[in-house]
Amino acid sequence: MGYLYLAIAIVAEVIATGALKASEQFSKPLPSMLVIVGYAITFYFLSLVLKTIPIGVAYAIWSGLGVVLITLMGAMIFGQKLDWAALLGIALIISGVVVMNVFSKAIGH
């Protein structure tokens, strides 16, 4: 269940962060509410994750995949441009998460 809760936390955080951009400094009510609810869901499920996954591992996966997904959201939804350095950085983040999940003994496979 830990990884399911982690996936929910990541998705909620990505949605909330996208809504943060759309809220235009909390001047739009619907996106602003989505930010508040989304982050509440994020941290609730992240707290559940910590029952079964070590905090360092959970945070690395949550923040790393969050950065990747939010960067892709910025490019696809908000039209932000990604250069080769940004794409390389995303590839390195994904590689780090994969290495941690496949080879780390800290995860407790």
pLDDT value, residue 29: 97
32: enclosing H helix or E strand: helix 29-49
pLDDT at residue 107, as a whole number = 65
pLDDT at 7: 97
Place of tokens 């759309």: 22
The answer to whether residue 70 sits within a structural domain is yes
Per residue of the chain (109 residues), what is the pLDDT tens digit?
899 999 999 999 999 999 999 999 999 999 999 999 999 999 999 999 999 998 888 988 899 899 999 999 999 998 999 999 999 999 998 898 888 878 877 765 5
Give pTM, 2 decimals.
0.85
Distance in angstroms (rounded) separating the CA atoms of residues 2 and 62:
12
Q: How many CB atoms lie within 10 A of CB 97?
A: 18
Inside any domain, residue 6: yes
78 DSSP assignment: S
User: What range does the domain containing 84 cover?
Assistant: 2-103
Quick check: is 37 in a domain?
yes
Question: What pLDDT shows up at residue 109?
Answer: 52
Domain total in the chain = 1
CA distance 34 to 24: 13
Assigned domain for 63 exists: yes
Residue 108 has a pLDDT of: 59
In the chain, the amino acid numbered 36 is I
Asked whether residue 73 is assigned to any structural domain, the reply reads yes
Residue 54, in any domain of the structure: yes
- The b-or-e profile of 76-91 (16+ CB within 10 A means b, else e) is eeeeeeeeeeeeeebe
72 lies in a domain?
yes
Assess if residue 69 is contained within a domain.
Answer: yes
- State the Cα–Cα distance between residues 77 and 91, nearest whole angstrom: 20
